[in-house]
Amino acid sequence: MDKIIAVIFNTEEDAYRGVKALTELHDEGSITLYASGVVKKQADGRVTVLEESDEGPLGTGVGLLTGSLIGFLGGPVGAVVGASVGTAGGMIFDLAKLGISEDFLFDIGRNLQPDKAAVVAEVWEEWVTPVDTRMESVGGTVFRRVRADIEDAQFERDVEAFNAEIDQLEAEIKTANAERKAKLQAKLDQAKAKLHETQERAKKSVEDTKHEMEAKIKSLQDQVAKTNAETKSKIEKQIAQMKDDHKKRNEKLRQAWELVKEAAAV
């Protein structure tokens, strides 16, 4: 399964040992490590990125999570871990794109105390024991979430909300006086603009998902070339499953995109 993990360590040095351990697990074929990064919560509560994977499709998930952590824990809404993540601008959309719910940030936030560090990574793992055992051996506590298709549902909810708002405004405009009608029209134009933005996000998501899948398959193929026959067979099955999952995922995204296009055309 494709998962996002966060491993909390007491020190920065332990966190780098955690990255090394994940790399070793990847090299031996126990997991596939797509991307990783290291963040630290400073004594004053700020969260800073100490190390991050190269930019690109394989680093997207880690980048979204580290950015959300900085906004959630290190920004003004991060003063209290119980604050609603929904107040942090576009963070909720980042989490939807990443495929995890906001409770994952709460779990990390409760445990990433000042002066502690965390390794965040996107991995493919069949079972949790290899990562858990290796991380425990270097002093880490693991939190993980399976990446889900949250973004698809987010698109559908957005479309429904914007359509309801547009219908209501159009109905009000029909009975409003001239002064009120101008104000309502401005609100209607704004709602339609937001619907168009949702359309563009859905379209980009289809493209991004394709690029991400291609990059991950390339990473898996590189891993196959360095492993033994047993692990090679396992990874080849993983590639086949990834292609099948992508086909289903892409179809859902395309359906969401078509739904947004239809709504935007009304």
pLDDT (tens digit per residue) in 107-156: 888 899 999 999 999 899 989 999 999 999 999 999 998 877 666 666 77
CA distance 120 to 49: 10
pLDDT band at 98 (very low <50, low <70, confident <90, very high): confident
Q: Can you give the three-state secondary structure of 121-160, one letter per residue?
A: EEEECCCCHHHHHHHHHCCCEEEEEECCCHHHHHHHHHHH
Q: Average of pLDDT values for 153-176?
A: 84
How far, in whole angstroms, is CA 153 from its chain's centroid?
Answer: 14
Task: Give the β-pairing of 141-146 and 2-9.
Answer: antiparallel
Do residue 121 and residue 214 come from a single domain? no
Q: pLDDT (tens digit, 9 = 90+) per residue, 63-87?
A: 777 877 777 666 443 433 344 444 4
Does residue 19 sit in the same domain as residue 136? yes
Residues 104 and 201 in one domain: no
My answer on whether 144 and 216 are in the same domain is no
Residue 74: per-residue pLDDT: 60
- On whether the pTM is more than 0.75, the answer is no
**What is the reported pLDDT for 237?**
83
Q: Do 138 and 170 reside in the same domain of the chain?
A: no
In this structure, the answer to whether residues 156 and 79 fall within a common structural domain is: no
| Domain closes at, from 91, 122, 148 | 148
- End position of a domain, from candidates 119, 148, 177: 148
- Tell whether 132 and 194 lie within a shared domain: no
| Structural domain that includes position 125 | 2-148
pLDDT of residue 184: 92
Q: What is the pLDDT of residue 152?
A: 64
Q: Give the sign of the dihedral formed by CA 188, CA 194, CA 195, CA 200.
A: positive
Check whether residue 228 and residue 109 sit in a common domain: no
Mean pLDDT of 82-93: 48
What percent of the chain lies above the pLDDT cut of 70? 78
Q: Are residues 158 and 189 in the same domain?
A: yes
